[in-house]
Amino acid sequence: MTCTGIRAGAVVVAMLAATGTAHAAETLEDEVRTLTNKERTANGCPTLAGNPKLTKSAQAHTDEMAKAGNFSHTGLNGSNPAERIEKAGYVWKAAAENIAFGQKTPTEVVAAWMKSPVHRANILNCSLKELGVGYALDAKKKAYWTQNFGTA
């Protein structure tokens, strides 16, 4: 590559960075968090920050449910959401979990949670501050979803 080509490439990269066009595509999990935060702000709650430990817990449970076909808040080893969240290293003052099965998109799963009084209550619990989301497909390509909420 010539010096001119290098400079031109650098200018394009700088332009993309300045315009925000060069960002990574939003994941399904990120989209669930975005949609969840839209519901929260529309109902007077602050947005939830993403948390890698809650994400680790949510993803591990989602993977287990999809692999075993065990759609439950109880893990195969008998664990409950609080135990799984702690195992992921999250020290919590408040924690909650939403799970879902079969919804194909983030929009569908958040809409389903918002129609369920218990799941809606978790989403609109303004005392919860952070969120991790898990998503996995089973062998038949059916979707499993988990939200782990927490306040450290």
The predicted-structure confidence for 87-117, as pLDDT tens digits, reads as follows 999 999 999 999 999 999 999 999 999 999 9
pLDDT at 42 over 60: yes
pTM of the model: 0.82
Model confidence at 151, in pLDDT bands (50, 70, 90)? very high
- For 76-120, what is the HEC assignment? CCCCCHHHHHHHCCCCCCEEEEEEEECCCCHHHHHHHHHHCHHHH
133, 128, 132, 134: which is closest to 150 by C-alpha? Answer: 128
Model confidence at 26, in pLDDT bands (50, 70, 90)? confident
| % of the chain beyond a pLDDT of 70 | 84
Q: For the structural domain made of 28-150, what CATH number should be given?
A: 3.40.33.10
pLDDT at 16 over 50: no
- What is the structure's pLDDT at 33? 97
- Residue 48, phi-psi category: left (phi > 0), alpha (psi -120 to 50), beta (remainder): beta
Model confidence at 24, in pLDDT bands (50, 70, 90)? low
Mean pLDDT of 3-28: 42
Report helix, strand or coil for 130: strand
Mean pLDDT of 116-133: 98
